[in-house]
Chain A
Amino acid sequence: MLKCNEIANLASDYLDRNLSWKEYFSVKMHLFMCGHCKRFVEHLLSTIRVVQGMERPLATPQETENILNHLSDKNQT
């Protein structure tokens, strides 16, 4: 039987299905009986969804211009 501290370490592998069938089943069993760990895994999943929903940081106009200038310098030489 897995303990809470083990679940806390396996939570990402559980969400990403990176566990063997046996491990996956053991985690599922634990989550069925332990509200704290269930909450931990649910919060971890919500966290991932929140970050995925955020806008990607775009390059600033200056950064983009630097790249394009460097490219045109290279093309001329």
Chain B
Amino acid sequence: MPDHRQIHNGIDLTSLRKQDHQAFTDLVEKYHRQMVIVARAIIGDSLAEEVVQEAWVSIYHALPSFEGRSSIKTWIYTIVSNQAKTRLRKESRLVSMNDMEEDIPAYLKAERFHDNGRWSSPPPLWDTESPEDMLENDQLRQCIEKTLELLPTQQKSVFLLRDIEQQSLEEICNILQIANSNVRVLLHRARVKLMQVIDHYQETGQC
């Protein structure tokens, strides 16, 4: 019998639509951590886990009607985002998630430049610029993981959705309810901070 299963990025959509236990477990394993990051950016730390737990129930029940108009991950992130926003309204409290004023990476600060706008402390040379070589370095990977973990909530969430999940800026604005210009600022800050870690590691051999 021919196999008509639809598989995208290692996700078996046919089994998922049938609410297959193993396919759903794999989906949870793959996306749960990321969903918590997204929920935290909308509703804050204390309620994020609870919102995500409820979002998984909604996802499970909605799977048979998933039409595939968007990718499964965009669909999942939209569901968790909607649940977080609904919960936020119910809680009727202000969660201050504004990362915009804090945390400007050193590279983007005025001290790094002369008054005429030129670098006073230019980017240092790296021993290797090859991503493949850098990925083979366990210690460097750990430094990057630690930095990612410590990014402010919104920066982390924007970076995840854009650079790891390859969502469009428009989708990210919808998911996180952040203006396009702010999404771009947050993304750039997150990337530059990660770059600073590599700078530092290449210079000192430490995080």
Binding site for B on A (CB under 8 A): 3-6, 8-9, 11-13, 16, 18, 36-37, 39-40, 42-44, 46-54, 56-59, 63-64, 66-68, 70-71, 74
A28 to B107, CA, bound (A): 20
- Chain A residues, Cβ within 8 Å of B188: 9, 11-13
Contacts A8-B108, A59-B29 hold; do A47 and B118 have CB atoms under 8 A apart? no
Binding site for A on B (CB under 8 A): 24-25, 28-30, 32-34, 53, 56-57, 60, 107-108, 110, 112-113, 116-119, 122-123, 125-126, 129-132, 134-135, 141, 144-145, 148, 159, 163-164, 169, 184, 187-188, 191-192, 194-195, 198-199
Q: Is the CB of A12 within 8 A of B191?
A: yes
Contacts A13-B184, A43-B198, A58-B30 hold; do A48 and B163 have CB atoms under 8 A apart? yes
A66 to B96, CA, bound (A): 29
Q: Is the CB of B184 within 8 A of A12?
A: yes
Interface SS, A side: helix
Contacts A49-B131, A54-B144 hold; do A71 and B60 have CB atoms under 8 A apart? yes
A49 to B145, CA, bound (A): 14
Q: How many A-B contacts at CB < 8 Å in the complex?
A: 119
Shortest C-beta distance, B165 to chain A (Å), equals 9
Shortest C-beta distance, B108 to chain A (Å), equals 6
Q: Is the CB of B184 within 8 A of A64?
A: no
Contacts A8-B108, A51-B148 hold; do A39 and B30 have CB atoms under 8 A apart? no
Q: Is the CB of B129 within 8 A of A42?
A: yes
Contacts A5-B113, A5-B117 hold; do A43 and B191 have CB atoms under 8 A apart? no
Q: Is the CB of A47 within 8 A of B195?
A: yes
- Chain B residues, Cβ within 8 Å of A12: 184, 187-188, 191
Shortest C-beta distance, B127 to chain A (Å), equals 12
Q: Is the CB of A64 within 8 A of B32?
A: yes
Closest residue on chain A to residue B32 by CB atoms? A59
- Chain A residues, Cβ within 8 Å of B56: 67, 70-71
Q: Is the CB of B135 within 8 A of A54?
A: yes
Q: Is the CB of A43 within 8 A of B53?
A: no
A74 to B187, CA, bound (A): 37
Contacts A5-B117, A40-B123, A56-B164 hold; do A47 and B191 have CB atoms under 8 A apart? yes
Q: Which of A50, A56, A74 contacts B34 (CB 8 A)?
A: A56
Q: Is the CB of A46 within 8 A of B163?
A: no
Q: Is the CB of B129 within 8 A of A46?
A: yes
Q: Is the CB of B191 within 8 A of A39?
A: no
